[in-house]
Each structure stands twice: as C-alpha cells, then as structure tokens.
Amino acid sequence: MKFDTPAGTNPIDQLKVVGKPTDRIDGPLKTTGTAPYAYERHDVASGQAYGYVIGAGIAKGRIRAIDLAEAKAAPGVLAIVTADNAGKLGKGRMNTAKLLGGPDIDHYHQAIAVVVAETFEQARAAAALVRVDYARAKGRFDLDAALKAAPLKGDSSGEGSSAPPIDRVGDFDAAFAAAPVKLDARYTTPDQSHMMMEPHASIAAWNGDELTLWTSNQMIAWGRGDVARTLGIPKEKVRLISPYIGGGFGGKLFVRADAIMAALGAKAAGRPVKVALTRPLMANNTTHRPATTQRIRLGCSRDGRITAIAHESGSGDLPGGGPETAVSQTKLLYAGANRLTAMRLAVLDLPEGNAMRAPGEAPGMMALEIAMDEMAEKLGIDPVEFRILNDTQVDPAKPERRFSQRQLVECLRLGATRFGWDARNPKPAQVRDGRWLVGMGVAAGFRNNLLMKSAARVGIDAKGMVTVATDMTDIGTGTYTIIAQTAAETMGVPLDRVIVLLGDSSFPESAGSGGQWGANNSTAGVYAACMKLRDSVAQRLGFNSADVTFAGGKVMSGNRSVPLAEAAGPAGLSAEDAIEYGDLDKRYQQSTFAGHFVEVGVDAWTGEVRVRRMLAVCAAGRILNPKAARSQVIGAMTMGVGAALMEELAVDKRFGFFVNHDLASYEVPVHADIPHQDVIFLDEVDPISSPMKAKGVGELGLCGVGGAIANSIYNATGVRVRDYPITLDKHLQFLPSVA
C-alpha cells in the first residue's frame, strides 16, 4: 500500500477496538512467568550448553598471549573460542567496534573469548582460569580534554534526530550581539546506561550451515543482516527469533556479543549454546548514551521574542562512531529568525556510544529547557508564557514547510491549568512545607515522528480466526495488543478472534521497535495487509470492494451477509502487504509535543530532592491504546527522574571503563522515588502520518522531563544546577540558610 496522500476516512476511524484502553493480551503470560524470553527457551534445541563471555581487562592495547591450557582442562569444558580460532569475522553495519576483540582491543570489556561448558557454573569457573597477557596502550578517556581539539561532525541518530556539523539560518552572531537580553550558558549530561531488566541473551543452534538465534533484539531485520555480515554467511542462512524482550531502550537495537559469541560457541562445541551477558558486561561491553557538553545562547527582545538562538554540543565515541545529536530539536522547537546549531565529536576509547531512549532530544532538551527558563527569568516572563510566545507552526529554517500537527501551546496551557501553575511563586526559595523547600518547574517535550516501511501477513482460517505475522517486536510496549486491535478493527472481528505472531525473521519485515516509530508503522503495515485481505475476500464473494463492510465476524454488501469463516473457505485466505510512504514527511514536518510539569521538595537541611507530583500532556496523533500509551509515558517520566537526579556512569579516566557497572552502584529510580504521575493525551489525529493517523509517545514522555525537574529545583531553592545528575553535593552548600 502506497501512502502518499493524507488519510481520509477508513475502517480504523470506527474506533470500535482501536483507541480503547485495552489490557495487554500478553499480560497473563508475563505475570505468570510463562512468556518465553530468549535465555529461557529450553524447548527449542536439545542439549544446550552454556557460554560465558570473557571481557577485555584493558581499554586500549593488544593481547600478547592467551593461555587456555588450564581452562581447557577444567571440568565440563567443551570449547573455548577466541579471535585466534574463530575464523575470519566481519563487522555489522550497526556496530562501531568488533564484537570479538583480539589481538587489538578497542574498549574495556570487549569480548575476547567465550568458554563453553556443560553448566553455567563450569563455564564461569573455567573462564576464571583463562590467563591473558596484555600490552596496555595509552587511551583517550576524558571528554572535556578531547573536545578541545575535536572537529565539527554532523550525523543522524538513525531515530529521527539529526543535524549537519554546523547549520546557520540568518545571521546569528549579529543578532545575538544586538539582542538587549542575552543568555550564554554551559550544560553537561553524563554517560548513561540502559540498565534494562533482561540482560543481552541468546541461544544459538546450527543445522548444517544454517543458524537459528533465539535472542533479545529490538530490530529483527537489522539483526539478521548484521549477524550474517559478522559471520560471513548469507542472510538467508540466518534466522532470528525474538517474541518477548524484557526491555531494550535502544540497547538492543543492534546485535551484541551475546549473539555472536553464542553462534561461535555453538559452532565450536557442535551443539546449541546459550549466552547471557553479565551485568558489568552490559554497561561496558554493549552501548550507552554518550555524555555531552552543551553551550546554549539565546538573544531576545525585551518583549520576550527570541531573535537569536544557538545550540552547540560536543560528545565522544570510538573511532568510526557518531555524535549524540543533542542539537536536533533546537532546529524546530522555537521560533527565531537567526539560528546556529553545531556538533563536535571527540574520539574516545570508552565503550561504544549509541542510541538510548530518545537519542539526541533527551539530553538536548535537558539543556535547552533549562536555558529557556533562565531566559524567562531574565525577561521577567512566566516560563509557560515565554514558551508559548515563541511557538512556531512552521519549520523556522523553511517557513514554507508546516508542521502536520503542532499543539504545543495547547499542551502547555492545559498542563498549566491542571497542575495549578497559577499557584507557583515565581520568586525562588519562597515556598516551604516544614523542612522542605517546594518548587514547580515546566518544560516542553518534543520528539520527531519517523516513517518506515513495514510489512505484515494476515490470514483467516476456516474457523474465522485472524492471524497476523510480522517480525515486529514487543519490548514491553504492548505491541501484541495494538496489532491485534488493528486487525480486529479492520477485519471486523472481536479482539479474542485475533492471533498475533511477532519477532521472527521468517515473517514479513516490519519497522521494528525503536525511535517511537514502532507503533504507528507496524500497525500501518498490518492495516495494509488487512485491506489487501479484505479485497481478496470481496473478490471471492463477488462483492464490490469499495462497498463492503466487515463487522461482527461477517462480510456484508447490500443485502448479502457471509460469515468470515465461510468466506475464507476450508483452505483459508491470506494476504501480505507493506505500508510504503511517499513524500508527505518531506512536505510536512512531523513531530510530537508535550508539556511536562513537575513539583519537587528539597530538604533544606540535607539537600535531598524528592519529586512530589508529575504531569505530562501529550499531543502525538491518534492514541491506539490509551492504557498502554499511558504506561509508556509514565515509564519515560520515571526514566526522566533517573536522568535528572541519579543516573551517571562514572568514568575511570586512568583505565577507561565505567566503574559503577551494576544495579547496586548505577542508581535508577525505585518505587519510593516516584510520586503520583498524571498523563493527558490531547484529542488529535494526524492524517499526514499514516492510515492509522497515529504517531509515537514512548520517547516523547522522556524528552523535557529532566529540564522540568531542574527548573523545579531552582524554583524551590534558588540554586541553578547546570550539570546532570542534580545530586545534593551540587547545591547543598548554596541552599538558603535554615532559621
């Protein structure tokens, strides 16, 4: 199905199933522990052995020698694979560093060997007996030092966030110099880890020259291609299966060492092998969100209009990597005739930096939305009104290119009303509740909407059951349910008459889960296949496709009505199609918007910060399942609390690794940290986006939250902290005196 004109009225608009707050159909499996995750697939291959990955003990240098003798002689050991015996390996298109290191080492904890044994304990014990002689080389581990000579570098996150090395609109320098009110400030965000609950895990089994991987991966088609490239085998010889994923947040967009080492171990041992990365390897071996140093300059007229806006960001990555695209949203979010964005990329020898939930916008808005508050205070304008004053309905660099839908002003106004913003004292450090200093903060939320081709196969059997198959994944987002809702709505059957099969590379290729593009695109692909199937049913019955109704498990045209099961016949019917997009996303800017509101309390004695209330008002096209969408947003808001107040990978700048590489020392929010959260979705459809008229919310709920928390802390204390996370040591000494 080609989608190149705005969507008109279609079967989804019935909203009998789509748009309803629906329990997740996979919920019973998740809550009873019967949903089979990758490492738990004991049923798929007999005689599974265990692999234990050894990570490099240096960040930069070479392996002089590996002594495997003692490990090979250990009880239960079946095989040990290193770069010396693995054979020639390539590198995946999505990987920056090799997934098997040696003799050269690219980063700390790069996989250098996998020990395969009969039991996990035997593999782990034998791995401890492997002796590695390293030649350590000097590495680059200090971002601030490396940025001093870093070149300008443009790139794309691959998730809708992108910018050239430097981009100018108008004459920023002259406009900024002439502005009567100016802000020039520096902000930093730290390295962060995905820390998803389920580790990177895989089971590999070979059948001759054909490989099957049961793995935890968000993007099946990407993964299949990169496994093939890495192992040097045809893509047709690789099958990836990933029906359930216990969290990804971008960390499982790409093939990691668990999959490749399991495949190599299985080949060497001659039997299936399962591998799960330990928690320290998840932090240092896989990817992370890179740290940034950002400079924002704003110039305004005295009435609050932005006349000059500049956002410059620097980040680091391994050789061949890319920057954190933190300036992307600043190109589109606020008006201003004179603009400058620029990015610098330093070469670091730290583990690979790459996508983490809302790459680009999440750290970029943590800085931009503080800067907007700082400028509002300089101007003496309410922070909500300042943002509204500088709203734009067009791309500031291309005024002829309008937003397909843009309700940022409505998000801010409704949010202010619901949150009780008018009760906020604009003068900082004035509101107390016992020993707590209380403050409110606001930030805009912004995330682009990305369109991707997505396919599905839909069939009807002789019992009238509808089965959908697509390689789309469910990373805990409710994909099974919204795909079932789409098929039920389009084919006119109850939800319990739909079976959904996901996460298998033998199914049609979907958009996959990432960049908040999954819901809109995968359901649009299912819709396309359903519409093709409807045509086949109509043709079989001799109905006019343009005048046919599917409802109540029946197909109707004029005064004729035929049960869907009867229409399918004994052999059933199936159809496969994909949604393919034209140039609507080029003619219109497609984005999602939110207003984030936060109230915090800061202990006047200790500096401890407690979030008291949170509200997100979101405008993101049609909401396919409000219940699942709310869960996505409150989960993103929770991540925003972590990013603002506690999450930080501590870099050992001597030896080049992340020190706090486990859940004991890398702090994330727990239940006690999260207060009541409210989410409001504006009534919006976007016919420019897809036949579903939907967009995405999974990352929008994160973008801006950190800034809102930072602004609320300032309102509570009068202390402005520009370096995340905002831990008490950064403001304690500056807090108001306690009487």
Other C-beta atoms within 10 Å of 162: how many?
18
Q: Is residue 728 part of a domain?
A: yes
Decide if 57 is inside a domain: no
- Are both 653 and 713 inside the same structural domain? yes
* Of residues 652, 711, 30, 61, the one with CA closest to residue 367: 711
* Structure letter (DSSP) for residue 503: S
C-alpha separations of 593 from 294, 328, 407, 584, 708 in Å: 22, 14, 7, 19, 15
Classify each residue of 80-99 as buried b or exposed e, where b means 16 or more C-beta atoms within 10 Å of its C-beta.
bbbbeebeeeeebebbbbbb
Separation of alpha carbons 394 and 413, rounded Å: 20
Whether residue 362 is contained in a domain is answered as no
Q: In CATH, what number is assigned to the domain containing residue 473?
A: 3.30.365.10
pLDDT in tens, 421-455: 999 999 999 999 999 999 999 999 999 999 999 99
Residue span of the structural domain in which 533 resides: 2-35+451-584
Residue 65: partners with Cβ closer than 8 Å, 6 or more residues away: 132, 133
pTM of whole model > 0.85? yes
Nearest to 503 by CA among 528, 531, 480: 480
72 by Cβ neighbours in 10 Å (0-12 / 13-18 / 19+) ranks as: middle
- Provide Rg for the chain, Cα atoms: 27
* Overall number of domains in the chain: 2
d(CA 473, CA 185): 41
User: What tens digit of pLDDT does each residue of 589-643 get?
Assistant: 999 999 999 999 999 999 999 999 999 999 999 999 999 999 999 999 999 999 9
- Co-location of 488 and 401 in the same domain: no
> Are residues 611 and 514 part of one domain?
no
In one letter, which amino acid is 128? A
Q: Tell me what pLDDT residue 598 has.
A: 98
| One domain, residues 609 and 669 | yes
CA–CA distances in Å: residue 374 to residues 190, 441, 570, 718: 21, 12, 69, 12
DSSP-derived secondary structure for 83-143 = TTTS------TT-SS-SS--SEE-STT-EEEEEEESSHHHHHHHHTT-EEEEEE------H
* Weakly modelled stretches of the chain, pLDDT under 70: 739
Indicate if 601 and 557 belong to the same structural domain. no
DSSP β-bridge partners for residue 622? 694
Q: Which helix (H) or strand (E) holds 336?
A: none
**Does residue 665 sit in the same domain as residue 707?**
yes
Nearest in space to 200 (alpha carbons), one of 213, 185, 186: 213
- Assess if residue 532 is contained within a domain: yes
Phi/psi region, residue 59 (left: phi>0; alpha: psi -120 to 50; beta: rest), is alpha
Interval 507-524: pLDDT, tens: 999 999 999 999 999 999
Reading the block at residue 297, the tokens are: 């300059």
* Site of tokens 């209380």: 438
Asked if residue 258 is part of any domain, the answer here is no
Does the residue 120 lie in any domain? no
Residues 414 and 496 placed together within one structural domain of the fold? no
Q: Among 584, 607, 625, give the residue marking a domain's end.
A: 584
Lookup: tokens for 43: 């049923």
Contacts of 145 (CB under 8 A, 6+ apart): none
Residue 477 counted as domain residue? yes
Catalytic sites, residue numbers:
699
Please indicate, yes or no, whether residues 474 and 595 belong to a single structural domain of this protein.
no
411 and 508: one domain? no
Pairs from 18-21 (Cβ < 8 Å, separation ≥ 24): 18/482, 18/485, 18/486, 18/489, 18/622, 18/624, 18/625, 18/692, 19/622, 19/623, 19/624, 19/625, 19/626, 20/485, 20/625, 20/626, 21/625, 21/626, 21/627
| Residue 443 and residue 705 in contact, taking contact as beta carbons nearer than 8 Å | yes
Please identify, among 531, 555, 584, the residue that sits at the C-terminal boundary of a domain.
Answer: 584
**Predicted local confidence at residue 453, as pLDDT:** 98
Beta-carbon contacts of residue 388 (< 8 Å; ≥ 6 apart): 409, 412, 413
B/e letters for 458-489, b = 16+ CB within 10 Å, e = fewer, are: bbbbeebbbbbbbbbbbbbbbbbbbbbbbbbb
Alpha helices in 195-345 (DSSP H): 220-231, 257-269, 279-284
Query: Is residue 353 in some structural domain?
Result: no
Q: Distance between CA 451 and CA 447 in Å, rounded?
A: 13
Report the pLDDT value the prediction gives residue 739, as an integer from 0 to 100: 64
Give the whole-angstrom CA distance, residue 473 versus residue 476: 9
Whether residues 636 and 511 share a domain: the answer is no
Residue 402 sits in the same domain as residue 536: no
Categorise residue 516: left if φ over 0, alpha if ψ from -120 to 50, beta otherwise: left
Same domain, 597 and 540: no
Please say which residue of 554, 584, 614 terminates a domain: 584
Q: Where are the beta strands (DSSP E) in 304-373?
A: 306-317, 338-347
- Rounded to whole angstroms, the Cα distance separating 634 from 615 reads 9
pLDDT at 738: 80
Kindly report, residue by residue over 120-150, the tens digit of the pLDDT. 999 999 999 999 999 999 999 999 999 999 9
